[in-house]
Amino acid sequence: MPQRIERYNRDFALSYSSWFESVYKDKYEYMGEWDLMSLAFRLDLGLYYLGIVSQPFKLGLKALLSPPFTSPLSRPVFHLMRTYNRRFAQIARRRRRMSALGKANRGQRCLIKGFTLSRGDIRLLFKPLFKWGWLELKEGWRSWWQPRENKVPVRIGAMREERETVGSSRL
């Protein structure tokens, strides 16, 4: 039982930090940018359904034993989500420096089809992935060689230290 508890604690911590890294971290950097936010929304939703929600439907109750982003099959989904989130934040920071933030927002709406967990739903990801690639070629390449800003709020840094201290005291 102690090994199971240790594994669950490790997996839960990995899942929690992966969710934060892939979905929430730096989202405010580009939240006011229609093109970046609508792409992130489409990709987040599609990858959530196809990479996370679909697992219990494929594997049954067994899938609920491992938290999201902890199984080897879900790690690529995490890495993809974290990558485009970081890139969108970096593009938004560059736009802010160039005083171009929010210039193309007027009159835009984000309407998408829903996901049904069918195999054909993967096609709904092709268009936003293509748009992301086009955005990188059109504008993102200008920020490829700039150092990534890794600003962690003081409170979150303190929480990480506290979690590491508590985690090491359990060993």
Tens-binned pLDDT, residue by residue, of the chain (171 aa): 888 889 888 998 999 999 999 999 999 999 889 999 999 999 998 888 887 887 788 788 887 778 888 888 788 989 999 999 999 999 999 999 988 888 878 877 777 777 777 777 778 888 889 999 999 999 888 888 776 665 555 455 555 555 555 555 544
pLDDT of residue 110: 74
Task: Look at the chain and report how many structural domains it folds into.
Answer: 1
CB atoms within 10 A of CB 109: 6
Task: Confirm whether pTM is higher than 0.75.
Answer: no
Q: Which domain holds residue 125?
A: 2-170
Q: What is the distance, to the nearest Å, from the Cα of residue 42 to the centroid of all Cα atoms in its chain? A: 11
Give the relative orientation of helices 123-138 and 34-48 as an angle to the nearest 10 degrees: 150
CA neighbor of 125 nearest in space, from 43, 44, 48, 51: 43
